[in-house]
């Protein structure tokens, strides 16, 4: 039997994706007279956005709204905007990490590169990235357009745009920069607290805190008395603290899957984080606890291409040093703390039970 989380996702995700598809189809019609290249971009964006994935951020937007007693179906348009933002961020991340696969298909930059290589363009890799960057500009503009045209009061939409700008764009960029500079540090110089701060800025805020609070903010009425205002404020505080903790658990588990997952499940090559030089908690703890010979080996392979045998050795070091076990425990602790942040909410409400299930899922997932 599907879990409550799965049931909730199956119930709401189709409406989010329907809204996203309808919006992109409208954009395609409107641009048909402008340029065939623009139409092709929208077609590629549509395929990229709708080919698969968890659709978690859009569903969390709906969940935050329903939890705050919102009832309008127009929440699905806002949720579609949050999903669009996610796909935009993923595409930028794919370029930075040079990932070629996403949700069972080619990433945007790889899609264009392959096309231009077939057409014998010189420097197809550069042109592939350029066209993907152009598509990312379009996706970013679509986020704003979806929000701007949603059926909510203007002051609510401005509040949503402020969260998008201050928490989703600004903090995600700040977290990326922290990690990017850390990726190019020597392994011995990496700092675990700095890496975790980057995780909080990137994953926790844009994947969990922002979608949940955006939904709650949209449901908050203009008037309702001091009691209702305090209740809404307490709810947003609980969702913020929950989102911060569950986001950390999610990303730590993501790092584990990046080294020990199944590519058929995750859709990404195992060991890619290590190839990119990411100083994950998993890697830093393995390095600190390893013998000198193994430390030198970790330094040698970090940020480089390596063989399957090298990957097996890194995995063994991470297991033998206890790095894998302690990182898993850290993720589980964050998940437990997330659930504790919900204790002041109505435990019988479906959305609260879904959030509890989500915290348990993020540390048990295999993809």
Which domains occur in the chain, in start order? 4-362 (1.10.600.10)
| Residue-level pLDDT at 202 | 87
| Residue-level pLDDT at 200 | 93
| Residue-level pLDDT at 2 | 64
| Residue-level pLDDT at 29 | 94
| Residue-level pLDDT at 227 | 47
| Residue-level pLDDT at 240 | 94
Q: What is the C-alpha separation between 61 and 15, in angstroms, rounded?
A: 12
Local mean pLDDT, 10-residue blocks, the chain (367 residues): 84 96 96 94 96 90 95 96 95 90 90 95 95 96 97 95 91 93 94 95 91 92 53 85 96 95 80 92 97 96 94 97 98 97 88 95 87
Cα Rg for the chain, rounded, in angstroms?
A: 21
How many angstroms separate the Cα of 118 from the Cα of each of 36, 75, 89, 112, 135?
A: 19, 42, 27, 10, 20
Would you tell me how many other CB atoms lie within 10 Å of the CB of residue 20? 25
SS3 assignment, position 106: strand
Q: What is the C-alpha separation between 140 and 143, in angstroms, rounded?
A: 5
Q: What is the DSSP string of 212-278?
A: HHHHHHHH--S--HHHHHHHHHHHHHHHHHHHHHHHHHHHHHHHHHHHHS-HHHHSS-TTHHHHTT-
């Amino acid at each position: 039997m599907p879990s409550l989380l799965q049931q909730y996702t199956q119930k709401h995700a189709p409406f989010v994706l329907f809204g996203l598809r309808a919006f992109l189809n409208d954009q395609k019609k409107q641009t048909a007279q402008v340029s065939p290249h623009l139409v092709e971009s929208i077609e590629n964006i549509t395929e990229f956005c709708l080919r698969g994935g968890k659709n978690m951020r859009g569903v969390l937007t709906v969940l935050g709204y329903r939890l705050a007693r919102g009832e309008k179906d127009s929440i699905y348009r806002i949720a579609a905007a949050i999903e669009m933002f996610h796909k935009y961020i993923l595409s930028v991340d794919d370029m930075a990490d040079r990932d070629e696969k996403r949700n069972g298909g080619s990433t945007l930059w790889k899609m264009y590169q392959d096309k231009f290589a077939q057409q014998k363009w010189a420097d197809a890799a550069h042109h592939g990235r350029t066209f993907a960057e152009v598509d990312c500009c379009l996706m970013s503009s679509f986020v704003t357009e979806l929000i701007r045209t949603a059926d909510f009061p203007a002051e609510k939409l401005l509040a949503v745009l402020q969260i998008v700008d201050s928490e989703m764009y600004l903090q995600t960029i700040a977290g990326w920069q922290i990690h990017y500079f850390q990726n190019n540090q020597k392994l011995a110089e990496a700092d675990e607290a700095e890496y975790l701060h980057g995780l909080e800025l990137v994953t926790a805020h844009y994947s969990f805190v922002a979608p949940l609070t955006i939904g709650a903010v949209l449901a908050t009425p203009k008037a309702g008395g001091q009691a209702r205002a305090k209740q809404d404020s307490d709810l947003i505080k609980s969702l913020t603290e929950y989102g911060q903790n569950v986001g950390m658990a999610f990303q730590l588990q993501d790092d584990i899957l990046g080294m020990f997952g199944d590519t058929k499940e995750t859709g990404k090559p195992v060991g890619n984080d290590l190839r990119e030089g990411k100083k994950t908690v998993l890697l830093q703890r393995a390095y600190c606890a390893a013998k000198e010979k193994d430390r030198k080996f970790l330094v040698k392979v970090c940020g480089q291409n390596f063989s399957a045998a090298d990957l097996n050795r890194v995995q063994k070091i991470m297991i033998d040093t206890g790095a894998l076990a302690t990182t898993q425990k850290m993720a589980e602790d964050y998940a437990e703390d997330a659930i504790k942040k919900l204790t002041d909410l109505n435990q019988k409400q479906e959305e609260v039970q879904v959030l509890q299930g989500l915290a348990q899922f993020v540390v048990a997932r295999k993809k």
